[in-house]
Amino acid sequence: MKHISFAALADKAAELNQAGEKWHFHMIGRACIFSRLKNEYEIIIEIESTGEELACRFSEKPLSETRRMAELCYGPGFLNNEENSDDTITTDQKADQNEAFGTIMDRARASCAAGTAWHNHHLFPGCIFNPQRGKHSIVFEDESNGEALYAYYDHDPVKDLAKLEALFFAK
């Protein structure tokens, strides 16, 4: 794994977007089950065609950097896109709602209300951290007790992810 500056990481992401290359990222915190560093934060990019990983380390939680990476990965306005609101989803899509994700939203809201720390991940089908390769996954981690909840999807769960991340960044 190559460690580079955040500016270089963001440039690389923009470059991959321009080239139409598939990539995704993770922000890995100290309390994270995926953490390899334990005392530092890390933003990792995975380039899906090559399996290459690039990472940048931080001593403080890189909130604005994580938001920047989310915009690069999912598109600008991802976090405040009205298309991601419940009002715009059809009855069919509602029937299709992921039960495990419902539990995750309840836990996230409860953690926000209680002021306890939590964070989430979106694991792509080819992701090194994904226990069910081939599926998309949203992971919720309760940092107060180290518990992790997983919701699995056959499709890219962009709407569910936007809902959860809107809560995360509103903390």
* Nearer of residues 46 and 142 to Zn ion, judged by Cβ: 46
CA distances from 133 to 87, 128, 130, 136, 137 (A): 32, 8, 6, 8, 9
CB of 15 to Zn ion, least distance (A): 18
CB of 112 to Zn ion, least distance (A): 17
Tell me the one-letter amino acid at 57.
R
Interface with Zn ion by CB under 5 A: which residues?
A: 32, 46, 127, 141
* Nearer of residues 32 and 72 to Zn ion, judged by Cβ: 32
* Nearer of residues 46 and 165 to Zn ion, judged by Cβ: 46
* Nearer of residues 127 and 138 to Zn ion, judged by Cβ: 127
d(CA 22, CA 146): 31
* Nearer of residues 65 and 89 to Zn ion, judged by Cβ: 65
CB of 1 to Zn ion, least distance (A): 12
Tell me the one-letter amino acid at 142.
D
CB of 26 to Zn ion, least distance (A): 5
Total H helices, total E strands in the chain: 5, 7
SS3 56: strand
* Gyration radius from the chain CA atoms: 16
Question: Quick one: DSSP state of residue 58?
Answer: E
CB of 92 to Zn ion, least distance (A): 30
